[in-house]
């Protein structure tokens, strides 16, 4: 018999996105008629602003329906260049911009385009679920630096220094952070920059996709704006998914040295060619147009963030740090590990705790293990305050049933 193996060795080294898996499980429960509240997925629950939708319709009517170059429409690149100037006081030339089908694809292209086998990427944990798998897929070795709630979920200059080796290719970090909501202040970024200045072989990838979603007192700062000497080896990753509720449109962008954007564009030309031309016009409208949608959405996230911080802090045994940005709460749940469910099953880790919250509490969450630290659970508050109120109650009750 002819045995065909469909999965390559390379692909077998990674797993499917765990947050997507939880959300699929929640959807399946809903399809069976169960009233599940899904706090597992990181996407805005608002509709894309109508002027952005109109711009896309206009693009279709005008016949902007063909391939674009791999670096995208000039009008989009110009919108990105002026966004960096206006919001971050950063000067980029048109050929220092790259676009992709979501920020995720830019990360993919950046590691595909730069890593040699065995190259190391320093990643503070908790990290966004896809970082380490994308690095591994491209032959790299994530060097994970755990930064728990006791560290305010942030890497210190000393720990960064200790993690850098002659094989380090990249330092990859995310602020505001998914899954913790932590934001690095300008001072903290400058201190990390001092370390990186001493290691000229290390490039910096700064994932700034939650830039606009700031809920606390720490303002967002773009890494390259406080470390101008490092701009020439920094790749800023950003996109329209989170700020403009455009997750399904698939448009991410990056700014960095021309030698790197050239590599990204070459990969783009041989993979998806370009993001949808219609999406590109819509993204330009989002970046150039009125920003009141963002202001209103952020005000709502802020109110929800306060609601969940208060609600979950009141549940005994959960250690809650108020998020400074993004739309996630990441409580530590150590007090519940080792406890027993009413059926006599022992909760050995946060994955089993999340599973208990789903089956008994009917709330979908993502375990800390997916983000490289345990024991925590991630709760997305990109859903209505009503849902959040119910989720707080249900989680409280489900946890109270553990002995």
C-alpha 265/C-alpha 113 separation (Å) is 10
What is the size of the binding site for ligand PLP (CB under 6 A)? 13
Site string for ligand PLP, 99-118 (x = CB under 6 A): ---xxx--------------
Q: Closer to ligand PLP at the Cβ: 142 or 361?
A: 142
C-alpha 338/C-alpha 249 separation (Å) is 43
C-alpha 231/C-alpha 223 separation (Å) is 8
> Does 174 interact with ligand PLP (rule: CB under 6 A)?
yes
C-alpha 105/C-alpha 246 separation (Å) is 15
Q: Closer to ligand PLP at the Cβ: 182 or 209?
A: 209
Stretch that binds ligand PLP, among 98-106, 148-156, 213-221, 316-324 (CB under 6 A): 98-106
Q: Number of helices (H) and strands (E) in the chain: give both, helices first.
A: 14, 12
**Considering the complex, what minimum distance in angstroms separates the CB of residue 200 from ligand PLP?**
26
The neighbour count for residue 307, using CB atoms within 10 Å, is 15
State whether residue 125 is helix, strand or coil: strand
**Considering the complex, what minimum distance in angstroms separates the CB of residue 239 from ligand PLP?**
3
Judged by phi (left if over 0) then psi (alpha if -120 to 50, else beta), residue 63 lies in left
**Considering the complex, what minimum distance in angstroms separates the CB of residue 252 from ligand PLP?**
4
Q: Are 375 and 349 in contact (CB under 8 A)?
A: yes
**Considering the complex, what minimum distance in angstroms separates the CB of residue 64 from ligand PLP?**
21
Site string for ligand PLP, 36-75 (x = CB under 6 A): ------x---------------------------------
Out of 18, 124, 126, 239, point to the residue binding ligand PLP (CB under 6 A): 239
Q: Closer to ligand PLP at the Cβ: 336 or 381?
A: 381
List the Cα angle 397/398/402 in 5-degree steps. Answer: 110
**Considering the complex, what minimum distance in angstroms separates the CB of residue 172 from ligand PLP?**
10
Burial of 375 (0-12, 13-18, 19+ CB in 10 A): buried
Out of 98, 241, 268, 280, point to the residue binding ligand PLP (CB under 6 A): 241
List residues bridging with 254 in a β-sheet.
98, 237
Residue 11 is given by DSSP the state: H
If residue 170 lies in a helix (H) or strand (E), which one and from where to where? strand 168-174
> Does 181 interact with ligand PLP (rule: CB under 6 A)?
no
**Considering the complex, what minimum distance in angstroms separates the CB of residue 123 from ligand PLP?**
12
Residue nearest to ligand PLP (CB): 102
Crossing angle for the helix pair 103-114 and 130-137, nearest 10 degrees?
A: 30
**Considering the complex, what minimum distance in angstroms separates the CB of residue 334 from ligand PLP?**
25
Q: Closer to ligand PLP at the Cβ: 242 or 321?
A: 242
Stretch that binds ligand PLP, among 51-59, 97-105, 211-219, 266-274 (CB under 6 A): 97-105
Q: Closer to ligand PLP at the Cβ: 181 or 331?
A: 181
Out of 142, 252, 275, 305, point to the residue binding ligand PLP (CB under 6 A): 252
> Does 178 interact with ligand PLP (rule: CB under 6 A)?
yes
Q: DSSP string spanning 321-371?
A: ---SBTTEE--B-GGGTT-B-TTS-B--SHHHHHHHHHHTT-EE-EEGGGG
Binding site for ligand PLP (CB under 6 A): 42, 102-104, 128, 174, 178, 207, 209, 239, 241, 247, 252
């Amino acid at each position: 018999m002819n045995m065909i193996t469909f999965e390559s060795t390379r692909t077998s080294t990674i797993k499917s996105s765990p947050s997507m898996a939880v959300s699929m499980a929640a959807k399946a429960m809903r399809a069976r008629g169960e009233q599940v509240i899904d706090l597992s997925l990181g996407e805005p629950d608002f509709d894309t602003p109508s002027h952005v939708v109109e711009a896309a319709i206009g693009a279709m009517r005008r016949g902007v329906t063909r391939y674009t170059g791999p670096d995208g429409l000039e009008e989009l690149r110009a919108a990105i260049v002026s966004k960096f100037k206006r919001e971050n006081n950063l000067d980029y030339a048109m050929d220092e911009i790259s676009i992709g089908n979501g920020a995720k694809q830019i990360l993919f292209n950046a590691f595909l385009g730069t890593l040699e086998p065995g190259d190391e990427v320093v990643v503070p944990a908790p990290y966004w679920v896809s970082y380490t798998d994308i690095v591994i897929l491209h032959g790299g070795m994530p060097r994970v630096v755990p930064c728990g709630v006791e560290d305010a979920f942030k890497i210190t200059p000393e720990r960064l220094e200790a993690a850098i080796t002659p094989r380090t290719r990249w330092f990859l970090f995310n602020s505001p952070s998914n899954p913790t909501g932590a934001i690095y202040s300008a001072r903290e970024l400058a201190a990390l920059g001092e370390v990186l200045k001493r290691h000229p072989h290390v490039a910096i990838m700064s994932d700034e996709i939650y830039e606009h979603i700031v809920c606390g007192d720490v303002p967002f700062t773009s890494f390259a704006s406080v470390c101008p000497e490092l701009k020439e080896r920094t790749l800023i990753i950003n996109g329209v998914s989170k700020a403009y509720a455009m997750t399904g449109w698939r448009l991410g962008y990056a700014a960095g040295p021309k030698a790197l954007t050239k590599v990204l564009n070459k990969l783009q030309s041989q993979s998806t060619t370009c993001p949808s031309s219609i999406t590109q016009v819509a993204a330009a409208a989002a970046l150039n147009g009125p920003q009141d949608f963002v202001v209103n959405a952020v005000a709502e996230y802020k109110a929800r963030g306060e609601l969940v911080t208060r609600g979950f802090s009141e549940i005994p045994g959960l250690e809650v740090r108020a998020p400074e940005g993004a739309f996630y709460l990441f409580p530590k749940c150590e007090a519940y590990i080792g406890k027993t469910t009413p059926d006599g099953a022992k909760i050995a880790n946060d994955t089993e705790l999340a599973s208990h919250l789903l089956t008994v509490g009917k709330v979908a969450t993502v375990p800390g293990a997916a983000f490289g630290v345990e024991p925590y659970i991630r709760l997305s508050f990109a859903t209505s305050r009503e849902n959040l109120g119910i989720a707080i109650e249900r989680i409280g009750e489900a946890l109270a049933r553990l002995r």
